[in-house]
Amino acid sequence: MLNLADHDSFTRGVPHDTFARMRAEAPLHWTPEFAGQRGFWSLTRHADIVAANRDPGTFSSAQGIRIEDQSHEEYLARRTFQETDPPEHFATRRIVQGAFAKPVIAEFEGVVRELAQDIVARAVRTGTGDGVAMIAKELPMKMLGRILGVPDADLDWLVEKGDALIGNTDPDFTDTVLDKVDTDAYAMMPFRSPAGVELYDYAEDVLDGRRPVTDDGILRRVMDATGAMDRLAFKNFFCLLVAAGNDTTRYSIAMALYLLARDPALYNTLKTGDYFDTAGDEFIRLASPTLHFRRTATQDIEMHGQTIRAGDKVILWFVSGNRDGAVFDAPDTAVLDRPSNRNLAFGQGGPHVCLGMWLARLELRVVLEEICRQTSALTLTGEPSWTRSNFICGVKTLPLTISP
């Protein structure tokens, strides 16, 4: 079994064999202390992850949500509402959730369509290159700008900083690699990253009116809401959106491109046009871009013949639950019309279920439709490269030829 605490275990893609063995032989698995970080429990079966995710009283988000250890001061400095439990969690979530509701997001379909048409058309003209840069990165980036309400001119910079946060363990995304260099100077910053400092400055400028934001963007709405966030909460929320609202959808689109290019029969099935309503979720299931989120046990818990002690870190490996054969027939195969796709990629079932879920799904559907409409074949010209991270399943590059 590969060591899940080690980011190098993920540099050739997700170690699905290790997760399959854990589901079968060690459904509650202990990884001992590694690289100066406390050990942790792993839950890998779908049913166990769902149960824990539904029970924030026992499996709390309020001491950190990634494997990294944090002092209480670091936790307080960096937390967003994602790192809180009900009822405190809902007090903030209720300020922002309206803007992400399904019917509100549905109104963006025209904008998404226009952007996707243009992105795919340009990729077709380019023909051969990196599918991530040509297609997967573009749409989420542009939509992030629309959702936040910031100028397009700022997007390249924001995305670069978002990548540095999410990819804080990959030398291609940051010089300050979390487990390789001393990051103590950034302990109070999002993702313990210098990019967090720069994003804080940007958010300060927004708060103080030095940077323009549109009236209908989420940043303006949050600043104007009654019971609005204080400055620190706003800055952390901004960083969360720049990170979460961008890479995850990019990597879902990239995974879809990869699977379609690898399997012409799958591409031809999608091209029939019969599966656009369900295909997106299936690609997101197989991508599982956020591999895990962490909880902390608030009491001793007996499980699978072992005891999780109060205070222990418990990792919910959504990526593993998403390939659990007890729930999914042919779990490693893309089944475009999978009935009742009970996938966990968005943290479904728990209070923290992804706010951006409807946006990500809309982007996936529309971009898949445009790819099928404008292309006749996708051909791999090499193998993908993967983000060095046990937190994010990132298709970093995807050598591809796109035929008109």
Closest approach, Cβ 336 to ligand HEM, in A, equals 17
Cβ nearer to ligand HEM, comparing 52 with 124: 52
> What is the phi/psi pair of residue 40, to 5°?
-150, 160
Look up residue 402 and give its amino acid: I
CB burial of 380-389 (b: ≥16 within 10 Å; e: otherwise) equals: beeebbbbbb
Closest approach, Cβ 190 to ligand HEM, in A, equals 13
Closest approach, Cβ 82 to ligand HEM, in A, equals 3
Look up residue 129 and give its amino acid: G
Spatial neighbors of 226 by CB under 8 A, at least 6 apart, are none
Cβ nearer to ligand HEM, comparing 93 with 338: 93
202: helix, coil or strand?
helix
Look up residue 342 and give its amino acid: R
391: helix, coil or strand?
coil
Closest approach, Cβ 347 to ligand HEM, in A, equals 3
> Omega before 103 cis (within 30°)?
no
User: What are 377's strand-pairing partners?
Assistant: 403
Cβ nearer to ligand HEM, comparing 196 with 356: 356
Q: In the complex, which residue's CB is closest to ligand HEM?
A: 356
Spatial neighbors of 142 by CB under 8 A, at least 6 apart, are 115, 119, 152, 155
Q: 247 near 161, Cβ under 8 Å?
A: no
> Omega before 194 cis (within 30°)?
no
Cβ nearer to ligand HEM, comparing 147 with 259: 147
Residues lying near ligand HEM in the complex (CB under 6 A) are found at: 61, 65, 81-82, 93, 147, 240-241, 244-245, 248-249, 252, 284, 289-290, 293, 318, 345-347, 350, 352, 354-356, 359-360
Closest approach, Cβ 305 to ligand HEM, in A, equals 26
Cβ nearer to ligand HEM, comparing 97 with 306: 97
Closest approach, Cβ 350 to ligand HEM, in A, equals 6
Cβ nearer to ligand HEM, comparing 124 with 218: 218
